[in-house]
Amino acid sequence: MQTTLYLIRHGQTKWNQEQRMQGWQNSDLTDVGKNQAILLGEKLEKEAIVFDAFYSSPSERALETRGLINQSLRFPEYEASGLQEINMGNWEGKTYDEIERIDKEEWQRFWDAPLSFQATNQGETFEALSLRSRESIQKMVELHQGQVIGMVSHRITIKTMVADLLGLAIEELDDVAPNSMTKIVLTDEQAILEVYSDTSHYE
């Protein structure tokens, strides 16, 4: 039996532009981010890609992205808290430069050696993120075996889920672009990465 996953990052936000960490806080989609989502919906319709279930993180930027993608497609919608971005604690709302100045060692670990990241920022470790996102995907796959599942999530969470499904280290993966789409096919034997961080709908 084959189950297909489409992992979609939310559209560009104001804090993305300002290079601020978002985590569990929210920043509104920019006009560019809204257009990215609309164009992705058009791509799905044109290519006749149909989601049997369309999940989203509970974050407002993810919900808005899903709504714009789905406005004419009408896929069944669900929320899953496991798709939320990694909790970045007291880093949230701060710029990259600000964080690097106050917490350089942890900042470097966050990007370059995630399994060594200690979450001294009062947020989550990558192990905690991996556990909750993996459990979330397992539940989705159990509920929708043999179907096509779409999910709108976040940069670090998507990288973590892809790494877990493929048995890779997260630092082996390239970045996940705003409103990009990643496709993974699950069979009884393996997970197959068919598309990674595709942005052809708006580039």
Catalytic residues: 10, 85
Amino acid letter for position 110? F
195/191 Cα distance (integer angstroms): 12
30/52 Cα distance (integer angstroms): 28
With the CA atoms of 54, 58, 63 and 64 taken in that order, what torsion angle do they form, in degrees rounded to the nearest 10?
A: -170
Nearest CA to 2 out of 136, 148, 138 is that of 148
Contacts of 113 (CB under 8 A, 6+ apart): 171
Nearest CA to 180 out of 196, 161, 198 is that of 198
CA–chain centroid gap for 49, Å, is 19
Nearest CA to 55 out of 35, 80, 31 is that of 80
186/149 Cα distance (integer angstroms): 11
Q: Going by DSSP bridges, is the β-strand pair 53-56/148-153 parallel, antiparallel, or unpaired?
A: parallel
